[in-house]
Chain A
Amino acid sequence: MYSVLGCGSNGNYQLGISNNIDQYNLKPSIFNIDGELTTSLSIKPKIISCGGNHTIILLESGELYMSGGNDKHQLSNDDDDMQHYDIFTKMNSDFKFKNVVTGWEFSILQTQTNELYSCGFGPNGELGQGKDTNQCNDLRKIEFQFDDDEGEEEIQNMYSSIHNTIIQLKNGELYGFGNNKKGQLVNLTNHDPSLKILYEPTKLSINFECDKIIDFTLCRDFIIYKVEVGGLIKFVFKGKDNFQIQENLKKLEVIENQGKLYSMWSSVHLHSTSNEIKSIGNNSHGQLIPNHTNLKISAVSIGSEHGLIKVDNGKVLAWGWGEHGNCGELKNNSVTFKEFNTIYNNNNDNNIEIIDIIAGVATSWVIIKKMSP
């Protein structure tokens, strides 16, 4: 059986534990499964996606369970005038889903038949529904035309920040929509305000001659692409740079063992294949990862302004800004965790396996599997 454990910011019931009090220790999420309340799931949770104040959990069966703020219908269910869901409740939908991303007050869902739907509030084009639609109370299909005739079955993945989304196709092409006020999706031209918001999925060009885009990550006001040029790795930065990120990324290009990019809202983190994490950007609240030379990191997840790592296969450590309990109990009355804090430890119990870790908007999540004794 599986359990989802969460802690941190909970003012809108986003932890799904039936109260709206911030939690400084992990608490099991409560699910309403066919009218029965339970903290054990027989179906494995595949994705936990955390919006500003709402949480959507996709099970491997393709069902969606959701908790938290619904004041903008970011959890859909039009016929239901719920301002929030206080425990994880199944989305009323005939669809089965394969992927979900969430932003500040919106959700983007991909069905198993490869259609895209959005719901919620998107004043900056976040819904991808065109200029006239900034509110969808119920799931609405996102219509968009690809350059080729392969159609929507070519969607490989989706990524979102709090106010924009990128769709990645299997052929490598990228389509984006939402907030482009900093030119993070497409280049802004002088005195043309029309490009500041992309209301519909728009083919992206990174305006950089490269062989292929290997990886990318969406921060709040910038996007970083990792590309290959003649066998060399380069980083392409687009958007607003308050923290000398572009300059510092250049220093990383020479490093071997390039790995995967992750982002907080104002910093970027590169998890190398040699198991080291390099952090660049805003360090106002300990966001840059502490020394970890002696740790065996087996998973990474990065939230709004804090991060999580799984180590030794049985522990989850947090660092960064933890004011709402997302990094565990506060220490020395400080909201900043400049050193790692252990938020989960299975104490070498071989019957408990950590399936995944997820860092959200000042929330932290651990999915565990309990083996039958």
Chain B
Amino acid sequence: MSEELTIYDQIEIEDFTFDEAQQLFTYPCPCGDRFQIGLGDLRDGEDVAVCPSCSLMVQVIFDEDDLQQFIDMIE
């Protein structure tokens, strides 16, 4: 797909669902699947969540401080 490398929207981390077992954040995609990004990716400074079923992407809005509660959950 050619021109669709644009970020579709920006979503705050509080809106994502966090799965402790997979250490994965997910959020509804308008295609019916879910945008996803790993906690490890966010800790590494990545902020683009992708959808496994389509080309759409969202930027995750968060501060580093926001991650601590999730790190605590898995440790």
Contacts and interface: CB of A to CB of B under 8 A. Distances in A.
Contact of B10 (A104, A242, A305): A242
A223 interface: no
Interface stretch (A7-15, A25-33, A59-67, A210-218): A7-15
A332 B4 CA distance: 13
Given A242-B9, A284-B6, A284-B9, A305 B30 contact: yes
Contacts of B54: 323-324, 335
Given A181-B15, A334-B2, A304 B30 contact: yes
Most buried by A among B12, B15, B31: B31
A177 interface: no
A280 interface: no
A123 interface: yes
Interface in B1-22: 1-4, 6-10, 12, 14-15, 17
Which of A196, A266, A321 gathers most chain B CB within 10 Å?
A321
Contacts of B9: 242, 266, 282, 284
A336 B8 CA distance: 12
Interface residues of A, number: 32
Nearest to A68: B32
A265 B14 contact: no
Of A14, A52, A264, most buried by chain B (CB within 10 Å of CB) is A52
A284 B8 contact: yes
Q: What interface size band does chain B fall in?
A: 20 to 34
A332 B8 CA distance: 20
Given A324-B54, A335-B55, A361 B6 contact: no
A288 interface: no
Contacts of B40: none
Of residues B3, B8, B10, B32, which shows the largest number of chain A Cβ atoms within 10 Å of its Cβ?
B32
A53 interface: yes
Interface string A54-79: 00000000000000000000000000
Given A242-B10, A284-B9, A336 B32 contact: no
B4 A162 contact: no
15 contacts: A12-B32, A14-B32, A52-B28, A181-B15, A264-B30, A285-B4, A304-B31, A323-B56, A324-B32, A333-B2, A334-B1, A335-B1, A361-B30, A361-B31, A361-B32
Interface of A: 9, 11-12, 14, 52-53, 104, 123, 162-163, 181, 196, 221, 242, 264-266, 282, 284-285, 304-305, 321, 323-324, 332-336, 361-362
